[in-house]
Amino acid sequence: MVTVRVEVVRGDITTQQVDAVLNAANGVMRGGGGVDGAIHRAGGPAVLRDCIERYPDGLGTGEAGWTGAGELPARYVIHVVGPDRHAGETDPGLLASCYRNALMVADELDVSTLAAPLVSAGVYGWPLDDAARIAVGTVRSADGAVELVRFVAFGADAEAALHAAL
């Protein structure tokens, strides 16, 4: 087992040179907005085809699954469905389970480097500071083969929240 190194960068998650990219997906696994849309656009149609084939019924909140990465520089996309606070999903355990389950999938795939966004901190309405605290705390407490989790902040507010959580 390896102690996970955590780092924060500001940038575009679709350009990260890592083994896998974590996608903040919606439950139907058919692409969407935000991080999900960016990953599907950059990865190309292969990511969507793989989602449809592997997850015809989608995934539940807190669950994780994987697909190939298509045209992304990563080998895999690990998809998680974060809790939607606007829909009443306010249990922090659901958000933490996204990261725990993603790291378990990463172990199965022999992933050592993972780029991750702040799941649920966009249109799903999770407060940035809380989302960052849960994300960093969950990843830091994990045991497994993943050596590096690089949190990729799209904006200054997310970057500040992640640095504060570190």
Unique residue bearing structure tokens 């904006």: 155
- For residue 115, the surrounding DSSP H or E stretch is strand 113-116
DSSP letter, residue 3: P
Rounded distance between C-alpha atoms, residue 126 and residue 69, angstroms:
27
The residues carrying an active-site annotation are 36
pLDDT at 36 > cutoff 70: yes
The model's pTM is 0.96
Give me the percent of the chain exceeding a pLDDT of 70.
99
Query: What is residue 3's predicted lDDT score, i.e. its pLDDT?
Result: 82
**pLDDT per residue as tens digits for the range 40-63:** 999 999 999 999 999 999 999 999
Given 3.40.50.720, 3.10.310.30, 3.40.50.460, 3.40.220.10, which CATH number is that of 5-165?
A: 3.40.220.10
The better pLDDT of the pair 144, 67 is held by: 67
For the chain, helix, strand, coil in percent to 5 are 40, 20, 40
DSSP letters spanning 138-152: HHHT--BS--EEEEE
Cα 22 → chain centroid: 3
Query: What is residue 143's predicted lDDT score, i.e. its pLDDT?
Result: 87
Q: How many CB atoms lie within 10 A of CB 166?
A: 11
31 close to 56: Cβ distance less than 8 angstroms: no
Query: What is residue 1's predicted lDDT score, i.e. its pLDDT?
Result: 59
pLDDT at 134 > cutoff 80: yes
- CB burial readout 36-67, b (16+ within 10 A) else e: bebbbebbeeebbebbeeebeebbebbbbbbb
